[in-house]
Amino acid sequence: MSDIASLGDLRGKRVLVRSDLNVPLDGTTITDDGRIRASVPTIKALVEGGARVIVCAHLGRPKGAPEAKYSLAPVATRLSELLGLPVAFADDTVGPSAQAAVDALADGGVVLLENLRFNAGETAKTDDERAEFADALAGLADAYVSDGFGVVHRKQASVYDVATRLPSAMGGLVKTEVDVLKRLTEDPERPYAVVLGGAKVADKLAVIDNLLGKADRLLIGGGMLFTFLAAQGHEIGKSLFDADSVEACKGYLERAKERGVDLVLPVDIVVGKEFSADTETAVVDADAIPADAMGLDIGPRSAQMYAEKLADARTVFWNGPMGAFEMAPFAAGTLAVAQALVDATAGGALTVVGGGDSAAAVRQLGFADDQFGHISTGGGASLEYLEGKDLPGITILEATA
């Protein structure tokens, strides 16, 4: 893939940058600006090169029409603070406000367009349906930089189609993400441990399937672990459970044993009667969850065991919290895994936090980004890469290089 240098001298050129600025909001307050901060280096490099920078991104899941709660206006304010320079904000994407803002750009200036998904053409399923919107976006610029790793697994107008219409390159963020993922999939340093959590086992089945041939250890936590416990014939009470995935989990347990992969499940569970921070809690053996209780975190013995399984790892990928970390009584498992990754990083291991809830968890629990080898900005994209899938936003850059 071509990087920004391949585009030549960009001074005075209009450069459309597809960033990932899909940050969590509480009203108009940004509660985690990690993705904005990750987008700054590429934008700053273009600014310093004298380009006229047009940033585009999405926020949330609007249905192809404007919705005030999904406006990128708060993001423009925060981006301006992080860049240390004014960021103009267009209140549409390809309409008169956007055109006027782009026309007004000076060399080194920045404008952020309103939410791409306020336009139905952004996420339309066919090339023809996306074409008009892609043409309009491309018409604003002289060159295109793909720097939103969190969306490169989507075949969308701003991710895929624009790259066929303009001289295109990957930004620094995307390059870093791809380089790290290649280290996870192409001859990783061993022992190679993967920690998978989160709510739904179905979301991770393809990843488990692919990694059973590559990882040395696979540690399972979060809501998905209960489908594995059910596959072993254990009572799981009112815990999260995916009946359709039980047979697949049985198969993975067998394959792990056949291939010598250490597939690790908790030995104890923190349970509660309700999904609430105020519920009465207890620690029980993993094969003895009461019928009227639900599992909400891995237990203390499991947390210690998981930390020990990670202690000598040279490569670690983690996606998905170990429990309901947003509630203090059920955060200890996730905290233990995060600390184990920090310790492994200090010992020289490559540690990768796979975006999404995992990234939110480590920040909420008080860890700094630089305590880990890499925190991905794209949970879904990372997982699809590890599944072995082609990512449209990457393949199109390779094809047009």
Is residue 296 a known part of a binding site?
no
Is residue 171 a known part of a binding site?
no
Measured distance CA(366)–CA(347) in Å, rounded: 20
Is residue 117 a known part of a binding site?
yes
Catalytic residue among 13, 35, 155, 238: 35
Catalytic residue among 223, 356, 378, 379: 356
Catalytic residue at 380?
A: yes
Question: Three-state DSSP class for 105?
Answer: coil
Question: Which residue's entry shows tokens 């307050």?
Answer: 29
CB 110 within 8 A of CB 53: yes
CB 182 within 8 A of CB 52: no
Measured distance CA(275)–CA(281) in Å, rounded: 11
Neighbours of 128 (CB within 10 A): 8
CB-based contacts of 293: which residues, under 8 Å, 6+ apart?
237, 238, 271, 272, 273, 282, 284
Beta strands in 94-139 (DSSP E): 110-112
Angle between helices 34-48 and 172-185 (to 10 degrees): 120
Is residue 295 a known part of a binding site?
yes
Measured distance CA(144)–CA(159) in Å, rounded: 10
Is residue 297 a known part of a binding site?
no
Catalytic residue at 388?
A: no
Is residue 374 a known part of a binding site?
no
* CA-based nearest residue to 31, from 55, 58, 59, 57: 59
Is residue 356 a known part of a binding site?
yes
3 state SS for 71-93: CCHHHHHHHHHHHCCCCEECCCC
Is residue 21 a known part of a binding site?
yes
Is residue 204 a known part of a binding site?
yes
Catalytic residue at 35?
A: yes
CB 115 within 8 A of CB 63: no
Helix (H) or strand (E) holding 270: strand 268-272
Is residue 216 a known part of a binding site?
no
Is residue 222 a known part of a binding site?
no
258, burial (CB in 10 Å: exposed 0-12, middle 13-18, buried 19+) = exposed
Name the DSSP class of 118: G
CB 289 within 8 A of CB 239: yes
Catalytic residue among 34, 333, 373, 380: 380
Is residue 20 a known part of a binding site?
yes
Catalytic residue at 323?
A: no
Is residue 11 a known part of a binding site?
no
Catalytic residue among 37, 44, 200, 301: 200
Measured distance CA(137)–CA(131) in Å, rounded: 10
Q: Indicate the annotated binding residues.
A: 20-22, 35, 58-61, 117, 154, 204, 295, 326, 355-358
Q: Pick out the residues of the known binding site for ATP.
A: 204, 295, 326, 355-358
Q: Catalytic amino acids?
A: 35, 200, 356, 380
Q: Which residues are annotated as a binding site for substrate?
A: 20-22, 35, 58-61, 117, 154
